[in-house]
Chain A
Amino acid sequence: MADNKPTITIDGQVLAYEPGQTVIQVAHEAGFDVPHYCYHPGLSIAGNCRICMVEVDGWPKPQVSCKLQPSPGMVVHTQSALAKSARAGTMEMLLVNHPLDCPICDQAGECHLQDYSYQLGQGEASSTTAKTKLPKNVAFGEKIVYDAERCIKCTLCVRFCEEITQTNELAMSGRGDHEIVIMTSKGEFDTAYSMNIIDLCPVGALTSRDFRFKSRLWFMDFTESLCTGCARGCNVVTGGRDGAMLRMEPRANAEVNQWWLCDEGRLDYAHVNGADRIASPRIKTADGVWVQATVDDAITAAAVALREAGGDVLLDGGCTLEEMLLARDLAKVMGGKARYAAATGGGDKFLRVDERGANAKGAEGLGLARATKAAAAAVVIVERDAHVPAALRDGAAPVVVFATDAASVPASARVVFPHGSWAERDGLLVNTDGRIQVINRNPAVGPDNIPATADVLEEILGELDPAYDWRGRGGLHAALRSESAFAKAQFPAMQSAGVGVGA
């Protein structure tokens, strides 16, 4: 090691470590798959599950690597006979009283107990005794359901409430194999971040009332994206199936949301699955009747209508940078300006910020004014009613509307395009700290074959401006880079659309 950092040896590999790191952290950084349940990088170390045990030369007993401080020259074995038998022994203990209800357990498919059983477990059970009976279907507030029989008492959920929210809703109660998690005397589990304990739970003991029993995981598509509930831009994974979004969970990003997500953001997808979703373009006939149209016909009709009307573009603060740039260009061609609208309020001292427009910072960077009162606009783009409420929409009296939900279309509209929800669009968002991040389309969410709003805007621009050259994503990103506001910004690499983490 050139920089003279102290080193330890794990399975023959010499690895440098930073003081303060524990052996499991060194091992994980080097790519060793040391199993763990009670260890979480964001919480204090409990060392209670005993599944991360490793053998250390010169130590007679196996050691829990999550708590073990490296010392220079320490020699660690994760695959020795002792390490393996210690882990297998722990695994066996964990399963003695664990119900064999994987077929009806929501965690199946993402259960660490299941995963490690395949790795470490034996095919045959040694225990023939009856399993311990413990409380099941216990409500932890309105959003979470606890099953004490599935619980492996890792205390991650208790530590989360003690250390992250510091609200102490949960505690351990009882001794021995009757130990369970209980709600403390506070009586309600109403912290704004309660559902993170569902993600923390390595087994199916804590399940989401919102998601439970909706789908087996292996039938779903998962896509890395962002939460757009506020301008924090928490990194998430969206999960969808057959057109519906079924759940959202946080993705670790040390700079933005660490490992966490607020409950409101997590559950903020009702509009994605709305009953009144617009699935295809529509044109209003001369006698005021709406008819479905092809995308091409609708683009032609929109260009005709906009040539006639001209004026501003009003867009949702959750639109992507690409959409905002195109809206600004479109407004310019029409002799007007682009404005954006977004709700505010609801911030706290942790993750949530008052600014609810997920790309408000991006709009500011592009020089877009914030719309606070009704003013005429030829084009309106709206995903969330909260951002572009009826007063702003109807007051704008637009002729062309991009909307997610049919109820958001003002009476003045003559051409309507479906606007995919954030879970169905690709693009860049600038969060409250000025960080440019990516949202990605989850192919399993939303109506099939809806055109990308950015593509439609480009087509309309081309119709209105004969000199306009199609730029596509690459061209748009180049244009964004040349904007003074983003000249120094780091642009993340775009994922190809729809490639989920599960793919």
Chain B
Amino acid sequence: MTAKKKASKKKAAAKGPAGSTPAPARAQRGADGVYPETQILSRNFGVEDSWTLAVAREQGAYTMLEKALATMTPAQVVEEVKTSRLRGRGGAGFPTGVKWGFIPQDSKKTKYLVLNADESEPGTFKDRYLMELDPHLVLEGCLLCAYATGLDVIYIYIRGEYPLSITRMEGAIEEARQAGYLGKNILGKQGFTVEAHVHPGAGAYICGEETGMLESLEGKRGHPRIKPPFPAVEGAFGCPTVINNVETLAHVPCIIEFGGAWFAGLGIQPDPANPRALGSSGTKLMGVSGDVKNPGVWEFEFGITLRELIYDYAGGPLDGRKVKAVIPGGLSMPVLTAGELDVPMGYDALQKVGSGLGTATAIVMDDACDMVEACENIAHFFADESCGQCTPCREGCHWMEKIFARIKAGEGTPKDLDLLEHLFVNIEGRTICALADAAVWPLRSILRKFRHEFLAQMPGQSDPALPAGSAAVGAR
């Protein structure tokens, strides 16, 4: 953990070995008004050698697997996860139990779990903590998923730039295999036979998209597939496949430990009036990077506001600076302005304000940040990472990058902003995967919310935000 925690802060942590402590209570703002951390996923993060099986076992690793194998049917595990209302932590927020339910149980084919550990979303660095500091928790979650849905093989697709995650997960798999948590008839359970493999990625953002990842895993170019068929029916190697994020599955042991109802009671409840607001149950690793004093990752029950996250935990902006804009969930979400920070961190709440939870890792930009330059940077990233498969993204992302570069070079005109709006329409929702949408959302929101900054960098355009007489071009 890079984050320094103030002693005054309360923590609701499930300290000690799993199974030996009562379920953590709901987070309550203290007398000082500070929203406390709830350490469930991260409870072993400070423990020495937490990634080794010996230490992990002292902390209760694999006891929930034992419990499930001994006392629960696979269907009961799925039910428990459905009850928990656990939603995917990779960005899309799809209900995990529902996804598991899509796996056809009558299929004779090999069934796969592909664990999405390709954490390549800019500003996102939560899954690496789990893989580096508690790989056995991750593996236990995978095995619970395998038991629940009848899977045979686990592939852990880890971003190639995470060498320590790769080493730790490979080490954990080896230790688990030797201890009988992997292989034939795991823990004596007849027929529960699962193998696990680590597959390192080779550095492409698109391989974090689930079907691009499957293609990459199969040894092909990471070009996303058109859905349907969905991976649950036809995924890796044409077989039924569950694809889950690392953090998603790391939640499963504690759901088995304390129960789905307990998990569902944490966080933000669904809105009965809005069937699309599925609520945000449980806890979430949340991170902050960018222009703050104390970037890092913490675990909270859903409900902490973006402002609390940035000011109480990330230390707020650097001295003498003010927060100008925040992208709340990785790079691919619409931007929020300094005035929009009181939104609770949750799937539905962030959607309601026109953004999204994404990976719940905020990127903070302060008042020294040139939004035109930021857009050029964002557009460059998505243009560079566009896989090239389908036309609107392949051509459109580069086109957007060139326009932002032109504006940054002081050669833009207001017509360019109209052209960008025209391109957003023709890129968003017109492609095979969501990379194009991910490119459009932050760019369009920045353009709309900070339009004056773009006009200010155009020759002959006066900037209403600047005092009269200021030089428009290059003003910062």
Residues of A within 8 A of B (CB): 45, 47-51, 53, 60-62, 64, 67, 69, 85-86, 89-90, 92-94, 96-97, 126-127, 129-130, 132, 152-153, 171-172, 174-179
Mark the stretch among B47-55, B130-138, B341-349, B398-406 that contacts chain A: B398-406
Q: Is B394 touching A90 in the complex (CB atoms < 8 A)? A: no
Given contacts A49-B390, A93-B396, A127-B399, 19 further A-B pairs with CB under 8 A are A50-B391, A50-B430, A60-B429, A61-B430, A69-B228, A90-B392, A90-B430, A93-B392, A93-B399, A97-B395, A129-B402, A152-B391, A172-B223, A175-B388, A176-B388, A176-B394, A177-B394, A177-B397, A178-B388
User: What residue in chain B is nearest A177 (Cβ atoms)?
Assistant: B398
CB distance from A130 to the nearest CB of B (A): 8
Is B432 close to A, CB under 8 A?
Answer: yes
Q: Which residues on the A side are within 8 Å of B384 (C-beta)? A: 175-176
Q: Which residues on the A side are within 8 Å of B394 (C-beta)? A: 93, 153, 176-177, 179
Q: Is A175 touching B385 in the complex (CB atoms < 8 A)? A: yes
Against A, the Cβ 8 Å flags (1 = close, 0 = not) of B395-425 are 1111100110010000000000001001001
Tell me the complex Cα distance, A171–B395, Å. Answer: 19
Tell me the complex Cα distance, A177–B395, Å. Answer: 6
Q: Is A89 touching B430 in the complex (CB atoms < 8 A)? A: yes
Against A, the Cβ 8 Å flags (1 = close, 0 = not) of B366-395 are 000000000000000001111111111011
Q: Which residues on the B side are within 8 Å of A178 (C-beta)? A: 388
Is B204 close to A, CB under 8 A?
Answer: yes
Tell me the complex Cα distance, A94–B394, Å. Answer: 9
Q: Is A94 touching B430 in the complex (CB atoms < 8 A)? A: no
Q: Which residues on the A side are within 8 Å of B392 (C-beta)? A: 50, 89-90, 93
CB distance from A102 to the nearest CB of B (A): 19
Against A, the Cβ 8 Å flags (1 = close, 0 = not) of B330-359 are 000000000000000000000000000000
Tell me the complex Cα distance, A85–B423, Å. Answer: 12
Q: Which residues on the B side are within 8 Å of A127 (C-beta)? A: 399
Q: Is A93 touching B226 in the complex (CB atoms < 8 A)? A: no
Q: Is B226 touching A94 in the complex (CB atoms < 8 A)? A: no
Cβ contacts A to B, 5 pairs, < 8 Å? A89-B425, A93-B426, A152-B391, A175-B385, A177-B398
Tell me the complex Cα distance, A85–B422, Å. Answer: 11
Q: Is B226 touching A177 in the complex (CB atoms < 8 A)? A: no
Is B26 close to A, CB under 8 A?
Answer: no
User: What residue in chain B is nearest A69 (Cβ atoms)?
Assistant: B228
Is B43 close to A, CB under 8 A?
Answer: no
Q: Which residues on the A side are within 8 Å of B403 (C-beta)? A: 129
Q: Is A96 touching B399 in the complex (CB atoms < 8 A)? A: yes
Q: Which residues on the A side are within 8 Å of B386 (C-beta)? A: 175-177
Complex A-B, nearest 7 residue pairs according to Cβ-Cβ distance, in ascending order: A89-B426, A179-B388, A93-B395, A129-B402, A176-B386, A61-B429, A177-B398
Interface of B is mostly: helix
Q: Which residues on the A side are within 8 Å of B429 (C-beta)? A: 60-62
Q: Which residues on the B side are within 8 Å of A47 (C-beta)? A: 226, 390, 432
User: What residue in chain B is nearest A178 (Cβ atoms)?
Assistant: B388
State which of B228, B399, B426 has its C-beta within 8 Å of the C-beta of A129: B399
Q: Is A174 touching B388 in the complex (CB atoms < 8 A)? A: yes
Instruction: Find the residue from B392, B396, B429, B432 having the highest chain A CB count within 10 A.
Output: B392
State which of A97, A172, A174, A176 has its C-beta within 8 Å of the C-beta of B397: A176
Q: Is A172 touching B426 in the complex (CB atoms < 8 A)? A: no
Tell me the complex Cα distance, A132–B394, Å. Answer: 12
The A-B contact count (CB < 8 A) is 98
User: What residue in chain A is nearest B425 (Cβ atoms)?
Assistant: A89
Tell me the complex Cα distance, A97–B394, Å. Answer: 10
Tell me the complex Cα distance, A45–B228, Å. Answer: 13
Known contacts A94-B395, A172-B221; is A48 also within 8 Å of B389 by CB?
yes
Q: Which residues on the A side are within 8 Å of B389 (C-beta)? A: 48, 153
Tell me the complex Cα distance, A64–B392, Å. Answer: 13
Tell me the complex Cα distance, A171–B388, Å. Answer: 13
Tell me the complex Cα distance, A171–B221, Å. Answer: 10
Q: Is B391 touching A90 in the complex (CB atoms < 8 A)? A: yes
Is B63 close to A, CB under 8 A?
Answer: no
User: What residue in chain B is nearest A130 (Cβ atoms)?
Assistant: B402
Known contacts A50-B431, A176-B394, A179-B394; is A153 also within 8 Å of B388 by CB?
yes
Q: Is A126 touching B419 in the complex (CB atoms < 8 A)? A: yes
Q: Is A172 touching B388 in the complex (CB atoms < 8 A)? A: yes
Tell me the complex Cα distance, A94–B228, Å. Answer: 26
Instruction: Find the residue from B221, B223, B384, B391 having the highest chain A CB count within 10 A.
Output: B391
Q: Which residues on the A side are within 8 Å of B387 (C-beta)? A: 175-176, 179
CB distance from B193 to the nearest CB of A (A): 34
Tell me the complex Cα distance, A48–B432, Å. Answer: 7
Known contacts A50-B392, A97-B395, A126-B422; is A177 also within 8 Å of B383 by CB?
yes
Q: Which residues on the B side are within 8 Å of A174 (C-beta)? A: 388
Q: Which residues on the B side are within 8 Å of A48 (C-beta)? A: 389-391, 432
Tell me the complex Cα distance, A96–B419, Å. Answer: 13
Q: Which residues on the A side are within 8 Å of B204 (C-beta)? A: 175
CB distance from A434 to the nearest CB of B (A): 39
Q: Is B390 touching A50 in the complex (CB atoms < 8 A)? A: yes
CB distance from A60 to the nearest CB of B (A): 8
Tell me the complex Cα distance, A171–B228, Å. Answer: 25
User: What residue in chain A is nearest B384 (Cβ atoms)?
Assistant: A176
Tell me the complex Cα distance, A90–B391, Å. Answer: 7
User: What residue in chain A is nearest B426 (Cβ atoms)?
Assistant: A89
Q: Which residues on the A side are within 8 Å of B383 (C-beta)? A: 176-177
Known contacts A64-B226, A129-B399, A175-B204; is A93 also within 8 Å of B391 by CB?
yes
Instruction: Find the residue from B221, B399, B403, B422 having the highest chain A CB count within 10 A.
Output: B399
Q: Which B202-224 residues have C-beta < 8 A from chain A?
A: 204, 206, 221, 223
Tell me the complex Cα distance, A213–B352, Å. Answer: 59
User: What residue in chain A is nearest B398 (Cβ atoms)?
Assistant: A177
Q: Is B426 touching A53 in the complex (CB atoms < 8 A)? A: no
User: What residue in chain B is nearest A179 (Cβ atoms)?
Assistant: B388
Q: Is A132 touching B391 in the complex (CB atoms < 8 A)? A: no
Q: Which residues on the B side are within 8 Å of A86 (C-beta)? A: 426, 430
Tell me the complex Cα distance, A496–B45, Å. Answer: 85
Tell me the complex Cα distance, A175–B206, Å. Answer: 10
Q: Which residues on the B side are within 8 Å of A179 (C-beta)? A: 387-388, 394
User: What residue in chain A is nearest B390 (Cβ atoms)?
Assistant: A48
CB distance from A166 to the nearest CB of B (A): 16
Tell me the complex Cα distance, A126–B395, Å. Answer: 13
Tell me the complex Cα distance, A49–B228, Å. Answer: 18
Tell me the complex Cα distance, A49–B389, Å. Answer: 8
Q: Which residues on the A side are within 8 Å of B399 (C-beta)? A: 93, 96, 127, 129
CB distance from B432 to the nearest CB of A (A): 6
CB distance from B220 to the nearest CB of A (A): 10
Q: Which residues on the A side are within 8 Å of B422 (C-beta)? A: 126
Tell me the complex Cα distance, A126–B386, Å. Answer: 21
Instruction: Find the residue from B221, B385, B390 having the highest chain A CB count within 10 A.
Output: B390
Tell me the complex Cα distance, A51–B20, Å. Answer: 60
Tell me the complex Cα distance, A96–B427, Å. Answer: 13
Q: Which residues on the A side are within 8 Å of B395 (C-beta)? A: 93-94, 96-97, 177
Q: Is B388 touching A49 in the complex (CB atoms < 8 A)? A: no
Tell me the complex Cα distance, A457–B356, Å. Answer: 83
